[in-house]
Amino acid sequence: MVVCKTGITMLKARGKKVLRISTGSITLTNLTTFEKYSHVKKMREEYGKLDKVEMSIWECCELLNDVVDESDPDLDEPQIEHLLQTAEAIRKDYPNEDWLHLTALVHDLGKVLLHPSFGELPQWAVVGDTYPVGCAFDESIVHHKYFKQNPDYNNPAYSTKYGVYAEGCGLNNVMMSWGHDDYMYLVAKENGTTLPSAALFVIRYHSFYALHRSGAYKHLMNGEDFENLKWLQIFNKYDLYSKSKDRIDVEKVKPYYLSLIEKYFPSKLRW
Binding site for Fe ion (CB under 5 A): 108, 239
Contact call for residues 97 and 231 (beta carbons, < 8 A): no
Q: Could you tell me the smallest distance in angstroms from the CB atom of residue 127 to Fe ion? A: 7
Tell me the closest approach of the beta carbon of residue 61 to Fe ion, in angstroms: 13
Q: Which is nearer to Fe ion, 108 or 152 (CB)?
A: 108
Query: Least Å distance between CB 206 and Fe ion?
Result: 5
Q: What number of other Cβ atoms are within 10 A of residue 141's Cβ?
A: 21
* CB nearer Fe ion, residue 90 or residue 135: 90
Known binding-site residue numbers: 82, 107-108, 180, 206, 239
- Please state the residue numbers annotated as binding site for Fe cation: 82, 107-108, 180, 206, 239
Q: In which region does residue 269 sit, left (phi positive, over 0), alpha (psi from -120 to 50) or beta (all else)?
A: beta
- Residue 132 or 163: which CB sits closer to Fe ion? 132
Question: At closest approach, how far in Å is the CB of 161 from Fe ion?
Answer: 27
The C-alpha atoms of residue 51 and residue 130 are separated, in whole angstroms, by 24
If the CB atoms of residues 108 and 182 are measured against Fe ion, the closer one turns out to be: 108
| Strands of 16-21's sheet in order across | 2-3, 8-13, 16-21
Closest distance to Fe ion from the beta carbon of 138 (Å): 20
The torsion of the CA quartet 229, 222, 213, 199, rounded to 10 degrees, works out to 30
Q: Which is nearer to Fe ion, 36 or 107 (CB)?
A: 107
Q: Give the nearest distance from C-beta 271 to Fe ion in angstroms.
A: 17
Q: Which is closer to Fe ion, CB of 158 or CB of 177?
A: 177
> Which is nearer to Fe ion, 126 or 260 (by Cβ)?
126
Cα torsion angle, 32, 36, 42, 47, sign: positive
Contact 104, 86 (CB under 8 A): yes
- Encoded amino acid at 86, one letter: T
Q: How far apart are CB 240 and Fe ion at their closest, in Å?
A: 8
